Amino acid sequence: MEKKRMEFDSELWVNNVYVILKKKKISIVDFQKNLKLGNGYLSRIKKGKLKPSAEKFIVICYECGFNMNLMIEEDFSEYHDSIYIINESLNKLIEQVESDDWYRDFGDDIPLQNDKDFINLLYQTRTLEDGRTYQSYNSVAFPKVICSTDKPAYSLFLPENRTLTLISFDIGEETYYELITMGSASVSPVCSSIDKLYAEKLEKLYKLISKKFENCSVTKETINMLKNFLQS
C-alpha cells in the first residue's frame, strides 16, 4: 500500500518561519531582502497565492536553522523559548567543531582517568542478575537502562569548572545521543535525541567530532598534563 503524501501546509510553514524570525529578532522585511525573495513573498505563500520553489524552501529552512520536516509538521508557536536557545547552541557547536577544543573519554579508559568526580558523574557500575558488573553511561533519558560505553564521550571545558559533554550509546538496535553539562557534583541535561527537535543535530555534531578525532587522539588526561606543563 502506498503511503499518502502529506499535503504542504503553507500557512503552518510560514507561521513557523515568522515565529523563528521573531525569536531571532530578525525582521521579516530584512529576512526577505537578505535572501532576495522580494517584499511580501512569505505573505503570498501563506495566503496560498504562491508556492515556494524547492530551492527557496530549502534556503529558507536552512536560514531558520531548523529541520525542514519539523518546520512543515510542527507548530513552533507552542514551543518554549528554551528550544530556540538550545537549537542555536547546537548550530554554533556544529559550525565551530574544528576550532573548539573537544577532548574525548573512552569507557574502556575509566580506571586510567584521574578526575574521579568526572568519572562518577559520566559513568556508573551496574550489577547484572548473574552478579556480573557492567560499566554504563549515566543517561539522563534512560536512568535505569544499561547504556553501552563502547563509544567515546566528547567534552568541552566550560567556565566555573563545568564541562559540556556529548555521549552516544546503543539500546538494542537504536542509537541515542545526549548533551549534558557536568560540574563537581551535578549533571544537568541539555537535550537528547529522543526529542526529534534535536536528534538530527546531535547525531551530526557527534559524527563531526568523531571525524575530527579519526587521526588525532587527545584525552582529558593529556589536556590536563599539558595545562599543568604550561602553568609550571
Question: What confidence score (pLDDT) does residue 94 get?
Answer: 94
Start-to-end Cα distance in the chain? 70
**How far apart (Å, rounded) are the C-alpha atoms in residues 107 and 212?**
19
Q: Domain ends where: 38, 63, 79?
A: 79
User: What domain count does the chain have?
Assistant: 2
223 and 110 in a single domain? The answer is: yes
pTM: 0.76
Considering the domain architecture, whether residues 120 and 219 belong to the same structural domain is answered as: yes
What does each of the 232 residues of the chain score in pLDDT, given as a tens digit?
444 455 788 899 999 999 999 998 999 999 999 999 988 999 999 998 999 999 999 999 999 999 899 999 999 998 888 999 999 999 999 999 988 888 887 644 433 344 555 666 788 777 777 878 777 888 888 888 888 888 888 988 888 888 899 999 988 889 999 999 987 777 889 999 999 989 999 999 999 999 988 766 555 567 667 777 787 7
Q: In what order do the strands lie in the sheet with 103-105?
A: 103-105, 153-158, 162-171, 174-182, 187-192
Range of the domain at 144: 103-231
Say what the pLDDT of residue 199 is: 93
pLDDT computed for residue 112 by the predictor: 33
pLDDT at 57: 94
56 and 143 part of one domain: no
181 domain residue, yes or no: yes
Query: pLDDT at position 4, please?
Result: 46
- Compute CA distances 130 → 95, 126, 145, whole Å: 46, 12, 16
Same structural domain, 131 and 222: yes
